[in-house]
Chains A and B, each alone.
Chain A
């Protein structure tokens, strides 16, 4: 059983407080790794912009990424392909959505390989893709699960608005698991009344 994270802030009266870091990040008590899957956002394709992806926090355990306190593993972005790099075992698209450029890679040894959809994409095309987040040479990138060539150019507008909506309504709010976890922490701290690492 892994012990929980060390980011619970204890105030002098024994209360557990949430600390706001820079950019309004919640340095709240991070869920232990085995609870990550209980946060529904962990399994969803989080609607992000390239800027968000570059600024993603690496979870203290270095085992995953988090955004505003939520552990995440997947993302969806929409942007224009500005560079295509084709190597013997992989294809990489550099996608620019106006906030930054993200490298999105597909390896040929993945289930499904490099299908014909990938080969139809050209420079300048608007694409919508989702996949898992990974770090490669100090950069955060996406391992593509699926990519769609978008014929309707309002897709970028839609993604910007959906992303904004999700950030205000969902991503900036703690999930039920986080609330429950903090509640348990608070109760166990009140019992022991001193700074302690708890386990779930």
Chain B
């Protein structure tokens, strides 16, 4: 009963780094670094301690700004410990604290998976 495209489960960086299976996630974080030649970016967030590697080879002409807030949807590879993003968006201005609280509240009430 689902569309053929997998849905990106909303998760925090630490949770993604801790998963054991290759799944699709939606993650938000500030851009810490970006290597255009390798198509690899790193994101961090205030809610999480770890840094997540993002593979951006599927994204074309993406205006990467160091320090800006980005949201990525993609598939996480447990072996490479990297998320290959297929959808990316600059979400500067989004209230991350409110977002995190809303996610936790919705999970508590069973409105969000996990």
Contact = CB atoms under 8 A, between A and B. Distances in A.
B106 interface: yes
Interface residues of A, number: 34
Contacts of B66: none
Contacts of A103: 3
Contacts of A164: 105-106, 109, 111
Given A154-B98, A157-B98, A157-B102, A167 B111 contact: yes
Chain B interface residue number, banded = 20 to 34
Nearest to B24: A96
Nearest to A156: B99
B70 to A, nearest CB: 11
B3 A80 contact: no
Interface of A: 49-51, 54, 80, 82-83, 94, 96-103, 123-126, 138-140, 152-154, 156-157, 160-161, 163-164, 167-168
Interface of B: 1-3, 5-10, 26, 71, 73, 86-89, 91, 93-95, 98-99, 102-103, 105-106, 109, 111-113
A164 B109 CA distance: 8
B87 A160 contact: no
Contact of A161 (B10, B94, B102): B102
B26 to A, nearest CB: 5
Given A96-B5, A101-B3, A160-B106, A152 B112 contact: no
A96 B73 contact: yes
